[in-house]
């Protein structure tokens, strides 16, 4: 097998974990919104049509996975995508699925 095709089990596990984090619709939506700039939990909850509590739980998981980071400003925390490669993958997938028509195909969106 060529070096280009060889993947260690640890690398495969890490990649699957990152993709797994994005497999939940709400988490993917959160990351999508955050690719467009930082948001606080309340703004995110409004934009993804979720509760503050649920969005906070998703953000905690995304933060533990290293996909988002937070900064504190007074009593508020603002979140942003912490991995530009993940942001690029999410944007590319959305653009691919939108195709030329500007709408997602067959995804109920």
> Which strand (E) or helix (H) includes residue 55?
helix 52-64
Cα 3 to Cα 8: distance, rounded to the nearest angstrom: 11
Q: Are 56 and 62 in contact (CB under 8 A)?
A: no
Whole-number pLDDT of residue 100: 55
Whole-number pLDDT of residue 104: 46
Whole-number pLDDT of residue 1: 60
pLDDT tens string, the chain, 109 residues long: the values are 677 788 999 999 998 999 999 999 999 999 999 999 999 999 999 999 999 999 999 999 999 999 999 999 999 999 999 999 999 999 999 999 999 554 544 544 4
Cα 67 to Cα 86: distance, rounded to the nearest angstrom: 7
Cα separation of the two ends of the chain: 41
Q: What letters, b where the CB count within 10 A reaches 16 and e where it falls short, cover 5-23?
A: eeeeeeeeeeeeebeebbe
Whole-number pLDDT of residue 4: 78
């Amino acid at each position: 097998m060529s070096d280009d095709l060889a993947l260690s089990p640890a690398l495969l596990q890490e990649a699957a974990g990152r993709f797994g984090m994005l497999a939940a619709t709400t988490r993917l939506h959160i990351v999508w919104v955050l690719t467009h700039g930082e948001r606080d939990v309340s703004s995110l909850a409004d934009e993804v049509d979720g509760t503050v509590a649920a969005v906070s739980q998703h953000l905690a998981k995304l933060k533990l996975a290293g996909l988002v980071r937070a900064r504190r400003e007074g009593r508020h925390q603002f979140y942003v995508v912490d991995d530009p490669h993940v942001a690029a993958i999410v944007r590319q997938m959305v653009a691919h699925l939108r195709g030329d028509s500007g709408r997602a195909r067959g995804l109920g969106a």
